[in-house]
Amino acid sequence: MNAYKFFLEFHSGFRYIVMVLVLLAILVAFAGLLGKRPYTNGNRKLNLFAMISAHVQLLIGLVLYFLSPFVRFGNGVMKDADARYWTVEHLAMMIFAIVLITIGHSKSKKATLPGEKHRVIALFYLLAFVTVVVAIIQSHRPLLGMSH
């Protein structure tokens, strides 16, 4: 197995861990917000693990970006929808999603009230999750299937 194929499979498979952790963090945050629950050490750890997994996924994706035969630089990239997607759009949307997660995590750490911590995580992680789903759908690859 060559490096490109390895990182492609790793990136494609690891997305499930990221998606599950981020979705779980969103659900727990909404439950905490709506149920007026305290912000626990378990909440903090879940949100941190979700953020760390997203950052790891970004690093895997960056390695894949420079190994990928679909990423091209030069004339005509912006005119070719597939090349533009893999060279510019996918990277930009995923970085944007991870920035949202990072901002949300940072703001939740600075918030003092439990409801505010839950609200910030729910909002920023949900926006990031939607961004990731849109980016995956836009790629014309299956959301629940492995890339090939």
Q: Per-residue pLDDT tens for 25-64? A: 999 999 999 999 999 999 999 999 999 999 999 999 999 9
Average per-residue pLDDT for the chain: 92
Q: What is the DSSP letter of 85?
A: I
Contact 58, 98 (CB under 8 A): yes
Place of tokens 């194929």: 5
Q: Which amino acid appears at position 138 of this protein?
A: Q
- Confidence at residue 52, expressed as pLDDT on a 0 to 100 scale: 99
Contact 93, 135 (CB under 8 A): yes
pTM recorded for the entire structure: 0.89
